[in-house]
Chains A and B, each alone.
Chain A
Amino acid sequence: MLLVGGIIASAVVGQLAIGPGEVVGSVLRAVGIPNPWVPSEQIVESTLWFVRFPRIVMALAVGAALAVAGAVMQAIFGNPLAEPGVVGVSSGGALGASIAIVLGLTALGTATTAVFAFVGALLATLLVYLVSRANGRTEVVTLLLTGIAVNAFASAGLAFLLFIADSGSREQIVFWQLGSLNGSLWGEAVVVATVTAVGTAIAIVLGRRYDILALGERNASHLGINVEALRIGSIVLVALLTGVAVAFCGIIAFVGLVVPHVVRMAIGPAHRPLIVASAFGGAALLVLADLLARSVVPGADLPIGLLTSLIGGPFFFFLLFRQRRRSGGWA
């Protein structure tokens, strides 16, 4: 409901007013159903198909990718506070992408930036993973401190790149740090949507194993899980989902934290339903957040990363506070 409502509202709201009927009509005609609601003006048609629809698809795909990445990360870290933005995976990806931009690398064609974002995200995940684990689990303190270190290093790298970059690249990097869905193109949206769909499918297949991993590494391996292979595969998966989102839309933090948490509270921690529901929840959240980002200040397009952090920051604080009260410490 929230998802469908958000999609239609996103198509309707904007600098050019378009009626909900016209949106439905235009989509129906595109799939070959003649109907009376088809928009009469050409500008309405092109605004929908070249500006708003790709942006909506992008929001849906990025939201789902980040939420699923968060759920998977929490499963392999055995810690409900693990999140790509918080622990520095997103900034690792942004650093990778920025290196490609500033150095003007095009060795791999138009995909170069995305590949660099993936590599950056992968390195950051590996680093956090290797540093913050002890006895098969991750303590909150270690995880957050590692996140601070990774984020600090990535910020320094980004600052250095800003310093040496020309003004064009500089603008692109600033865009990365803030996170935005502005100017999404069909080509990009399709790439993100494809990666998200494949990644989510893999995560769903691995869902039962994530459940068993909640028993701890030793018990999981006694139950026949190849824990090492599962962890490595999942790290690549998280890096892929986060990297592709970051490559085209920059850092959009806290989606991976908030969505799986709310879903877990609503339907419990079993990972298969959790991952499916998180994908839809993340998609809905980002479409709505994007709608807010471009409508709350008339004529301006706020960076969406700013909005998610505005909501996610206090939420994160609330979770930390609750966990501390419950366990009597920061462990």
Chain B
Amino acid sequence: MGVTAPGLVSAVGVGVDLDGARVLDDVTLEVVPGEVLVLVGPNGAGKSTLLGVLSGERRPTRGAVTIDGRELGGIRHLELARLRSVLTQENTVSFPFLVAEVVAMGRSPWARSVEGRDDIAAVAEAMDAADITHLAGRRYTQLSGGEKARVSLARVLAQRTPVIFLDEPTASLDLRHQEDVMRVGRRLADEGRAVVVVLHDLSLASAYADRLALVSDGRLEAVGAPAEVLTEERVERVYGLPVELHLVAGRPVVVPRRA
């Protein structure tokens, strides 16, 4: 791997304690520019906590996270916002802003900078990628859940950062838009960005990930290519559910065994 592209996020021996409980323990993980890294794992395994630590939102109790060699905690808010963007699960907007205004808010970290002149193009491109151009003149507060999710995705894309974190971006989307979102993620990685996605759907994860990180009980169970990480034995053990795996185009598809 060359060191030319910015956005190398590296977590070493990271642990998080919440109210005395170990939510995350001894996680060492790299996020590499040009690849889609998908975090999977059962509910409460610590995926979102790990995402929070990697994105600098949560300070780890143990260990350190760096981006391009710099400690995350030492980077100012605004500078960090130019390095990484985050799509959260919860996306309510307090006042009835227009969809175009909400997407343009993604440009705010670039105000008064050279990149600020790309604002209009960045907003238009992001709205196109998220398939919401037709919603531009609508009020955000009047959209459906799926539409809100796509508008929020567009806002994050408009931020144009080297590292992009997406926390369950497909949760409220229909089949087509789920695929669309993952394709957008794929394309961003192909452009040289580092993309980290939390997903529940193992088959979707396996179809789009360069690397999968399986989180279980606050620990990193396995990291690697989808076919290496997703084995019947491992998925059954981590999820506590009998499954069978099929290979579709060389990628595992996970199906629960149903009686």
**CA A78 to CA B141, docked complex, whole Å:** 13
Q: For residue A264, which residue of chain B has the nearest CB? A: B95
Q: Is A325 part of the binding interface, using a Cβ–Cβ cutoff of 8 Å?
A: no
**CA A224 to CA B56, docked complex, whole Å:** 12
Residues of A within 8 A of B77 (CB): 221, 224-226
Known: A216-B92, A224-B80. A270 touches B97 (CB 8 A): yes
Q: Is A103 part of the binding interface, using a Cβ–Cβ cutoff of 8 Å?
A: no
Known: A208-B111, A224-B82. A270 touches B90 (CB 8 A): no
Taking the closest CB of chain A, its distance from the CB of B69, in whole angstroms, is 21
Q: For residue B86, which residue of chain A has the nearest CB? A: A222
**CA A137 to CA B94, docked complex, whole Å:** 9
Q: How many A-B residue pairs have CB under 8 A?
A: 71
A215 touches B102 (CB 8 A): yes
Interface residues of B in 80-120 (CB under 8 A from A): 80-82, 85-86, 88, 90-98, 101-102, 105-106, 108-109, 111
B81 touches A216 (CB 8 A): no
Taking the closest CB of chain B, its distance from the CB of A78, in whole angstroms, is 4
Q: Is A127 part of the binding interface, using a Cβ–Cβ cutoff of 8 Å?
A: no
Taking the closest CB of chain B, its distance from the CB of A9, in whole angstroms, is 34
Interface residues of A in 62-116 (CB under 8 A from B): 78-80
Residues of A within 8 A of B105 (CB): 211-212, 215, 223
A208 touches B85 (CB 8 A): no
Taking the closest CB of chain B, its distance from the CB of A103, in whole angstroms, is 41
Taking the closest CB of chain B, its distance from the CB of A311, in whole angstroms, is 23
Residues of A within 8 A of B101 (CB): 211, 270
The listed residue (B85, B98, B111) touching A222 by CB distance below 8 A is B85
Residues of A within 8 A of B90 (CB): 216, 218
A223 touches B93 (CB 8 A): no
Q: Is B10 part of the binding interface, using a Cβ–Cβ cutoff of 8 Å?
A: no
Write 19 A-B pairs (CB below 8 A) sorted by A numbering. Answer: A211-B101, A212-B105, A212-B108, A214-B93, A215-B105, A216-B90, A216-B91, A218-B86, A218-B88, A219-B86, A219-B88, A222-B86, A223-B106, A223-B108, A224-B78, A224-B79, A225-B108, A270-B97, A270-B101
Binding site for B on A (CB under 8 A): 78-80, 137, 208, 211-216, 218-219, 221-226, 264, 268-270
User: Assuming A224-B80, A264-B96, A268-B98, what are 11 further A-B pairs, CB within 8 angstroms?
Assistant: A78-B94, A79-B94, A80-B95, A211-B105, A214-B93, A218-B57, A221-B57, A222-B81, A225-B108, A268-B96, A269-B97
The 8 closest A-B pairs by CB, nearest first: A224-B81, A269-B95, A224-B78, A78-B94, A224-B109, A222-B86, A214-B94, A224-B77
